[in-house]
Structure 1
Amino acid sequence: MFAFSSDQFAEAQKAHVANLFALTNTAFDGFQKLAELNLQAARSALAESQDSIQAALSGNGLQDAISVPGKLAQPAAEKALAYARQVYEIASNTQAELSKTVEAQYEQHNRSVQNFVDTFVKNAPAGSEALTALLQSTVAAANNTYDSVQKATRQAAETVKSNLEASAAVANGAVQQNARRAGTAAKQ
């Protein structure tokens, strides 16, 4: 029949460990980029807070102090949108890298399973046709399921991306409109 050698088992384990580390490193790279972005955003927010407080305190009167937040509203909202875009990009790129690794691992696993099934079918004793047909149909069904999940995942990612872009456009328009209103109100 078919014997699974210890060398084949060892090679499979090495491949699984290598894939685990590849996935882990990709995830850590994404977390690192996100942490760096958050530190940058925190530093920027602290510097802007300091500047706005100094601007409010150095004004010539109450009108100058009141107008400072209105002047800072649009840049703050734009920065928030830029931050959201950067978070999305980091998450999207990390997810894409993870997907590539998982797909490569799945393809390798699929080839191994197909080789096993082919060898099993070739060496199957007479009268085991039903078992070999069941094994082949099970592998085919698993492949079809995987393909369906991959397609659905891609569609969901595309939908999220288009919704984010639409939301960003609407938010950007609202920010600009509010900034114009604040500028008009500060002049009065």
Structure 2
Amino acid sequence: MSPFTPDQFAAVQKSNLNHLFALTNMAFDGFQKLTELNLQAARTTLAEGQENVQAVLAGKDLREVFAVQSNLGQPAAEKAVAYARNVYEIASNTQAELSRAVEAQYEQHNRNVQAFVDTFVKNAPAGSEALTALLQSSVAAASSTYQSLQSVAKQTAEVAKTNFATTAAAANGAAQQAAPRASKQ
């Protein structure tokens, strides 16, 4: 006798498809946010470029032209850091949503597997103790491996977040130091 009926199998497949569609929608939402950020950045860059060209052309002498040009460095660097921060936030938030959804799906799957193993053990014929023990230990080992991988993934995400914050702060500091030197030239 099979532990799964056709209706149960169909329900599992339907659940898996719904989960796949949910993950796909989350990924597309992240992609849409990134696309909107890129479009806004392009609009802003175009408008600022036009303003900068007009300011340079409005300069009466070379000194005014160089003064306008020297004032462009720091805002551009700050905007690049802000853009990178926004990209990171979108990617990080999307990854966190996907991770939560996958984790929830895994936990449900793990409960289903454990229920299957329990049912199998209860209905196992006499003399199959070794097989049932192997099945139970395999499920426990898989669960332990997943927990370890999940812990490593969370630690890696935290390290990446810390490294990004450090890099962004360093880039911002470098841009602020470069601006006074550029305006003196």
TM-score (norm 1): 0.96
Aligned partners of 1:2 and 1:119 also within 8 Å: no
Aligned partners of 1:26 and 1:94 also within 8 Å: yes
Residue 183 of structure 1: CA displacement?
2.2
Moved more, 1-10 or 75-84: 1-10
Q: What's the Cα RMSD here?
A: 0.9
Q: Give the distance between the partners of 2:3 and 2:21, measured in 1 at CA.
A: 29
Structure 2 equivalent of residue 97 of structure 1:
97
Structure 2 equivalent of residue 18 of structure 1:
18
- List aligned pairs for 1:169-188, cutoff 5 A: 169-185=169-185
- List aligned pairs for 1:52-91, cutoff 5 A: 52-91=52-91
Residue 2 of structure 1: CA displacement?
4.2
Structure 2 equivalent of residue 43 of structure 1:
43
Aligned partners of 1:30 and 1:91 also within 8 Å: yes
Q: Give the distance between the partners of 1:30 and 1:68, measured in 2 at CA.
A: 37
Residue 126 of structure 1: CA displacement?
0.6
Structure 1 equivalent of residue 165 of structure 2:
165
Residue 70 of structure 1: CA displacement?
1.3
Counterpart amino acid of residue 166 in structure 1: T
SS of 1:127's equivalent?
Answer: coil
SS of 1:4's equivalent?
Answer: coil
Counterpart amino acid of residue 112 in structure 1: N
Q: Give the distance between the partners of 1:10 and 1:74, measured in 2 at CA.
A: 59
Residue 42 of structure 1: CA displacement?
0.4
Q: Which structure 1 segments of 5+ residues have no match?
A: none
Corresponding residue pairs, total: 185
Aligned partners of 1:56 and 1:68 also within 8 Å: yes
Q: Give the distance between the partners of 1:155 and 1:70, measured in 2 at CA.
A: 42
Structure 2 equivalent of residue 152 of structure 1:
152
Structure 2 equivalent of residue 141 of structure 1:
141
SS of 2:177's equivalent?
Answer: helix
